[in-house]
């Protein structure tokens, strides 16, 4: 990262923090203004299926993170897998619809036309993804992309330092939709219960949970809560 650019980005984040401890939330909010996008979401990932959204600046950003977890596809999934940025400049384009047949239409429906996924990576260590979105199609200029990568690098360093922090307003780290905050812990608990119900691996149990959410057009966290609260049970002869 260019030293002058890094210093400018850090100054923007510090200014946004207004004297409080620097957090990943401050990085997201600063990236929206600094790059010139409509929203941002940051998800920590151990694998494409083991992930937790740390912060989203608005409803659309939060839904985009949840959609990618539910469908197992999208820019952040690809960015984490490849270790490089994935820049979807117009999700309505046939190439993107073919690449992400479930995610792209759902993202368009929620109000995003362009999504830019920047991996959080320090050396060989992949930590997660910073997603930026625009409500209108269009790519990032070279300077905007360089700034976006600098914000992602800063987020990665904060993660390594353990500085996840709280959002700027002191509220919940994930933007709340319809009064319910998706909790990754609930998804993990539901996966464990399905594992026991079906006698399958954790990966297969999670795939069944995700497939059920997709088939019923429901949020993954909502289906997981139904499993945990025993309103929904999976049996071995259920279709996958």
- In this structure, how many other beta carbons lie within 10 angstroms of the beta carbon of residue 122? 12
Return phi, psi of residue 42, to 5°: -125, 125
Looking at residue 174, the DSSP 8-state letter turns out to be S
- 69 vs 182 pLDDT, higher one: 69
Mean pLDDT score, 2-29: 89
Lowest mean pLDDT among 40-44, 45-49, 98-102, 103-107: 45-49
| Backbone torsions φ then ψ of 39, nearest 5 degrees | -170, 170
Burial 171-192 (b: 16+ CB within 10 A, else e): eebbbebeeebbebebbbebbe
Q: Is 58 buried (19+), middle (13-18) or exposed (0-12) by CB count in 10 A?
A: middle
Q: Which domains does the chain have, with CATH numbers?
A: 3-160 (3.30.450.40), 184-228 (1.10.10)
Q: What is the pTM of this model?
A: 0.74
Q: Which of 2-6, 107-111, 139-143, 184-188 has the lowest mean pLDDT?
A: 184-188
Residue pLDDT, tens place only, 56-90: 999 999 999 999 988 989 999 999 999 999 999 99
Distance CA 100, CA 86 (A): 13
Average pLDDT over residues 131-137: 98
Predicted local distance difference test score (pLDDT) of residue 179: 35
Sheet with 114-122: list strands edge to edge.
50-56, 39-47, 125-134, 114-122, 86-88
Q: Which residue stretches of 72-219 are H helix?
A: 75-82, 94-99, 103-110, 142-160, 184-198, 202-215
Q: Give CA–CA dist 161/65, Å, rounded.
A: 23
Segments of the chain assigned E as strands: 39-47, 50-56, 86-88, 114-122, 125-134
**β-pair type (114-122, 50-56):** unpaired
**At 48, is the pLDDT very low, low, confident or very high (cuts 50, 70, 90)?**
low
CA angle (135 as vertex; 13, 182 as ends), nearest 5: 70
Q: What is the pLDDT of residue 69?
A: 86
Q: How far is CA 94 from the centre of its chain?
A: 23
Of the pLDDT bands very low, low, confident and very high (cuts 50, 70, 90), residue 44 is confident
- CB of 192 closer than 8 Å to CB of 204: no
């Amino acid at each position: 990262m260019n030293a002058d650019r890094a210093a400018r980005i850090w100054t923007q984040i510090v200014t946004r923090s207004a004297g409080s401890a620097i957090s990943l939330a401050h990085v997201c909010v600063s990236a929206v203004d600094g790059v010139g996008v409509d929203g941002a979401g940051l998800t920590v990932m151990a694998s494409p299926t083991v992930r937790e959204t740390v912060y989203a600046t608005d409803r659309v950003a939060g839904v985009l993170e949840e959609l990618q977890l539910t469908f197992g596809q999208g820019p952040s999934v690809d960015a984490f897998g490849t270790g490089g940025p994935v820049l979807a400049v117009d999700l309505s384009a046939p190439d993107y619809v073919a690449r992400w047949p479930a995610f792209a239409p759902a993202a368009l429906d929620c109000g995003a036309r362009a999504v830019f996924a920047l991996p959080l990576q320090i050396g060989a260590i992949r930590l997660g993804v910073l997603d930026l979105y625009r409500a209108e199609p269009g790519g990032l200029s070279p300077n905007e992309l360089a700034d976006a990568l600098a914000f992602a690098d800063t987020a990665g360093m904060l993660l390594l330092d353990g500085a996840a922090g709280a959002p700027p307003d002191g509220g919940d780290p994930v933007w709340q939709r319809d009064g319910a905050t998706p909790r990754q812990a609930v998804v993990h608990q539901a996966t464990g219960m399905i594992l026991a119900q079906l006698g399958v691996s954790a990966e297969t149990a999670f795939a069944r949970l995700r497939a059920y959410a997709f088939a019923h057009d429901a949020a993954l966290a909502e289906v997981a809560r139904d499993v945990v609260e025993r309103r929904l049970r999976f049996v071995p002869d259920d279709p996958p």
